[in-house]
Amino acid sequence: MVNALEIKDLKKVYSNDVEALKGIDLEVQKGDFFALLGPNGAGKSTAINIIVDLVTKTSGQIKIFGKDLDQNLEEAKMHIGIVPQEFNFNIFEKVMDIVVQQAGYYGIDKATAKKSAEKYLKQLDLWEKRNEVSRTLSGGQKRRLMIARALVHEPELLILDEPTAGVDIEIRRKMWEFVKNLNQGGRTIILTTHYLEEAENLCRNIAIIDQGQIIENTSMKSFLKNVENELYIFDIKGTIKNLPELRHCNLKMLDETTIEAEVSKDHTLNMLFEHFKKNNVEIVSMRRKTARLEELFMKLVDNNKNGN
């Protein structure tokens, strides 16, 4: 099967001899939901900008669905839709016009463009805003407009660069549902985000880039197996004064009705629930305090910086 994205020995050296990318290799399979993560300045934005032809690489090879970016640029770009971090549309143009004009850059006729624009504006709850000037939209609506614009030419590969930055949690979850459905329909998606729970909930595979190099490239499932401990918060019914101790699990009272539990991966939550039941502690609700991906991400990047 042809990969959606194939990168070989990609390098980028800026004029001040700063190596933004130090020869990265990366493959994203067709139909994947792939997370490309890294701290600020790691090189992920540079890599994305090279893929979408906004930055010129120093050396290396990029193929989009088998099309070499150097040899078949226009054909390769037809396969890509990009949702950048920054709003980059004309704020004085109408919503519908912004989406339809984008299709024109790909040689799509106006009638087909309008039909596609209607489809995505409706799916993204923007159809009622189609004749409004884009500067009147809320931040979340502007984010959704950028997704509609990226999809209007029906690309097989969608790149989401911080797609939910600055939007509230309710809108963020609606956008998660939308992109999940896109992926389930066969669209390949590459996601960069600082909300690591997004990557954990959405993506099947992950690459982490730091200091211009790929330092991890594996499935999300395999990566999360490296978690040593998880933190949970338990809300309890009533109050307790003396917290029952449990071997191999650190329990701490945050207040009279809230318990924090650090559980090792070798011990199940069932053991903890049995312990609570035995000591007459009734649990009302439970939530994870620290995302597993965040814990591993920070550890990996710290180790890389320290040369471990």
Decide if 307 is inside a domain.
Answer: no
Of 75-89, 254-268, 269-283, which gets the smallest average pLDDT?
Answer: 254-268
Domain total in the chain = 2
Q: Is residue 92 part of a domain?
A: yes
Q: Are residues 146 and 282 in the same domain?
A: no
Residue 28 lies in a domain: yes
Q: What is the pLDDT of residues 16-62, one digit of tens each?
A: 888 999 999 999 999 999 999 988 889 999 999 999 999 999 999 99
Task: Give residue 97's domain range.
Answer: 5-224
In the sheet with 249-255, reading across from the earlier edge strand, the strands are 249-255, 258-264, 229-236, 283-288
Q: Is residue 51 part of a domain?
A: yes
pLDDT at 171 over 90: no
CB neighbours (10 Å) of residue 154?
A: 16
pLDDT at residue number 283:
86
| pLDDT for residue 290 is more than 60 | no
Interior CA angle at 149 toward 68 and 140, to 5°?
Answer: 125
Whether residues 24 and 141 fall in one domain: yes
Domain limit, last residue, from 191, 224, 257: 224
**148 and 38: one domain?**
yes
Q: Kindly report, residue by residue over 119-145, the tens digit of the pLDDT.
A: 999 999 999 999 999 999 998 999 999
What is the average pLDDT score of the chain? 89
Are residues 155 and 43 part of one domain? yes
Does 163 lie in the same domain as 97?
yes
Tokens matching residue 144: 């959704």
Question: Both 39 and 102 in a single domain?
Answer: yes
| Same-domain status, 165 and 284 | no
- Cα dist. 289→8, 210, 233 in Å? 38, 26, 6
Query: pLDDT-based confidence at 285, cuts 50/70/90?
Result: confident
Residue 36 shares a structural domain with residue 71: yes
DSSP line for 69-138: TTTSHHHHHTTEEEE-SS--S-TTSBHHHHHHHHHHTTT--HHHHHHHHHHHHHHTT-GGGTTSBGGGS-
Is residue 49 located within the same domain as residue 171? yes
